[in-house]
Amino acid sequence: HQAHDRALFASGALKAAKFLAGRPAGLYDMQALVNEG
């Protein structure tokens, strides 16, 4: 696959940061992020 726009990566990183903010330390998977999104 190819990414044509780096903004997609930035958007994903921000979404992940918002998801993790305030959560206890631990291991989270992409499914948890997608389900909460």
Q: What are the helix (H) ranges across 1-37?
A: 7-20, 30-36
pLDDT of residue 20: 93
pLDDT of residue 37: 57
Query: What CA–CA distance (Å, rounded) separates 13 from 27?
Result: 16
The predicted model gives 18-35 an average pLDDT of 92
The predicted model gives 25-37 an average pLDDT of 88
Does residue 28 fall inside a structural domain?
yes
Higher pLDDT, 14 or 2: 14
Does residue 1 fall inside a structural domain?
no
Range of the domain at 32: 7-36
pLDDT of residue 3: 80
Does residue 31 fall inside a structural domain?
yes
How many domains does the structure of the chain reveal? 1
20: left (phi over 0), alpha (psi -120 to 50) or beta: alpha
Does residue 21 fall inside a structural domain?
yes
The predicted model gives 22-27 an average pLDDT of 94
Does residue 23 fall inside a structural domain?
yes
